[in-house]
A and B are shown apart, each in its own frame.
Chain A
Amino acid sequence: EPEVTQTPSHQVTQMGQEVILRCVPISNHLYFYWYRQILGQKVEFLVSFYNNEISEKSEIFDDQFSVERPDGSNFTLKIRSTKLEDSAMYFCASSEFVGRGGDQPQHFGDGTRLSIL
């Protein structure tokens, strides 16, 4: 079964450094997402991406964050200048389409655990 893959599985970075988290969504999917989960807390939406542009973003997704689809397969999340509070599990997800009734599940990758020192 096709799956979303994320690399690396764990990233340790010094505060203030830039970090790029990488994802390969499922190949025929058109919508891509980033979520984060701070340890012990709920999963929070960051951003969705469709047709090479951001379609929706949360208040968490400020100017320090950016997303890119540099080629036909990768989808990346960049954090420009990391802060301690950026430490979390970051999940990439993809879905085939967004339709009426909200009936498309989002398929999640295994996550990247980001630790900011």
Chain B
Amino acid sequence: AQKITQTQPGMFVQEKEAVTLDCTYDTSDQSYGLFWYKQPSSGEMIFLIYQGSYDEQNATEGRYSLNFQKARKSANLVISASQLGDSAMYFCAMRRSNFNKFYFGSGTKLNVKP
């Protein structure tokens, strides 16, 4: 069974500092994709970053980077230079190759302190 685990229900970070949000996954598939979404208090789901299981380099998108460790089955999200607007829930998700559904983790609520 596919499973996504986010062990940090809540995190605090000081504005302008970097923060790492943890995500581990469990799958026997060789081909899959890992995604991070941001959900502000207003409720929408915003796609942040993607990492493919065959990608050798860690994905980066602006201030977001994904620390992908395939052997450990982890896909941690790193946010550099945190901003107040980064305060939100963050969800890690996985999609198996050639299947449709996303498996979501339980989320991490990030609070950025001024």
**Interface residues of A, Cβ cutoff 8 Å to B:** 31, 33, 35, 41-45, 48, 50, 55-56, 58, 89, 91, 93, 98-111, 113
Contact = CB atoms under 8 A, between A and B. Distances in A.
Interface residues of B, number: 31
A107 B102 CA distance: 12
Nearest to B101: A45
A37 B64 CA distance: 25
A55 B107 contact: no
A42 B105 CA distance: 6
A105 B50 CA distance: 7
A10 B96 CA distance: 32
Contacts of B56: none
A113 B42 CA distance: 11
Contacts of A98: 98-100
24 contacts: A33-B102, A41-B106, A42-B105, A43-B45, A45-B102, A50-B100, A98-B98, A100-B31, A100-B98, A101-B31, A101-B32, A101-B54, A102-B31, A102-B32, A102-B94, A102-B97, A103-B50, A104-B95, A105-B47, A105-B50, A106-B47, A108-B46, A108-B47, A111-B44
B54 A108 contact: no
B33 A103 contact: yes
Interface of B: 31-33, 35, 37, 42-47, 50, 52-54, 91, 93-107
B101 A58 contact: yes
Nearest to A98: B100
B45 A91 contact: yes
B37 A101 contact: no
A6 B47 CA distance: 17
B103 A45 contact: yes
B34 to A, nearest CB: 8
A16 B109 CA distance: 34
Contacts of A35: 102
